[in-house]
Amino acid sequence: MRAMVLNQAKTVLTTRPLAPSKRPLELRDMPKPKPGRGQLLVRVNTCAVCRTDLHVVDGELPDPKLPLILGHQIVGRVEEIGEISEGPQRPDSHGTKAAPGFAIGDRVGIPWLGWTDGNCPYCRSGRENLCNNARFTGYTIDGGYAEFTVADARYCFHLPERYDDVEVAPLLCAGLIGYRSYRKTGDARRLGIYGFGNAAHLIAQIAVYEGRELFAFTRSGDDATQQAAKELGAVWAGGSDEMPPDKLDAAIIFASAGPLVPAALRALAKGGIVVCGGIHMTDIPSFPYVDLWEERVITSVANLTRRDGEEFFDLAPRVPVKTKTEAFALEQANTAVDRFRSGELKATAVLTITS
Ligand SMILES: [Zn+2]
Ligand SMILES: [Zn+2]
């Protein structure tokens, strides 16, 4: 099968596009994987590109599997089913049904969380996103920048029918992990979002649908994004160096710039929460204690649980959450990654795999 393979993560950052010979992903002919016990062999139709893929390529996340097939927002069809696990399937502690039924030919979504041990203190307390031994698609196990992949059926999702394979792909990470960040804001009425990219675009639609007052923070002077946020229903949009007209009950930061944390904290009302929604962030500068005083909270979101997925894929088609996508052929994965990094993309890059 054809696959775009990362042989080595870069440790030196560059913002300029690399010469073709130095591009990180190499088109290779790989053996088609075989599904093990409880796994699905999936013919990949689309795979959306996530900022986390950039962090892996750039060497900002430790110890990726190498060589690695990136990609954790995978949509495909079940081609083959591995032997079913022996013994009765135990429901998880939070009630998610184990081994959801997939038949050959079914459409399937494969997310970032690829496997957990089901057994550590986190798994046993409904926090499988923090599992001590978790494996992650397109990071510690091979992902979807390829014609085929295998995935543990218990961590795969059935996808809402209203979306086609390109439209639905960005929901699998930007949507899901954005949703987990959003749920951490509780019933906050005034919600700020810092970094108005793919995840923000999806979550803003849910926030407005649920009657929140949305405040959008972009790079200062980014009038186009501020305008787009207002069109989505934001009551205010401005630069991340500005203070909103009202104090916020919660803020979600989707950008990876650490200085946004104290900036968002300063915009909070008493008891407010800042949720860092990204897997990687630059260092956070120090700030006066008075900005945290009065029970303000800073937290982060790591990974997702299957319950997040079930809730989100139930809610998304009702809003309905709309995605913006730009399609690239599998072989153009380097171009998609480069354009994402340089900020040239106005939509989520989705690789479309044709065989
Ligand atoms: Zn665990
Ligand atoms: Zn992701």
Measure 90 CA to ligand 1 centroid, in angstroms.
14
Task: Quote the ligand 2 centre to 303 CA distance (angstroms).
Answer: 9
Which ligand number lies closest to the CA of residue 55?
Answer: 2
What pLDDT, on a 0 to 100 scale, did the predictor assign at position 85?
54
CA of 71 to the centre of ligand 2 (A): 8
For residue 184, the 8-state DSSP code is: T
Q: How far is the CA of 251 from the centre of ligand 2 (A)?
A: 20
Contacts of residue 160, Cβ cutoff 8 Å, sequence gap at least 6: 168, 313, 316, 317
Poorest-confidence range of 79-93, 143-157, 163-177, 197-211? Answer: 79-93
The stretch 329-349 carries a mean pLDDT of 95
For the stretch 199-216, pLDDT in tens is 999 999 999 999 999 999
Instruction: Please write the tens of the pLDDT for every residue from 235-251.
Output: 999 999 999 999 999 99
CA of 74 to the centre of ligand 2 (A): 11
In angstroms, what is the span from residue 86 Cα to ligand 2's centroid? Answer: 32
349 neighbors 25 (Cβ within 8 angstroms): no
Measured from the alpha carbon of residue 302, the closest ligand is 2
Q: Would you say 3 and 146 are in contact if contact means Cβ atoms under 8 Å apart? A: yes
Per-residue model confidence (pLDDT) at position 9: 86
CA distance 79 to 84: 15
Phi/psi for 267 (5° steps) reads: -90, 0
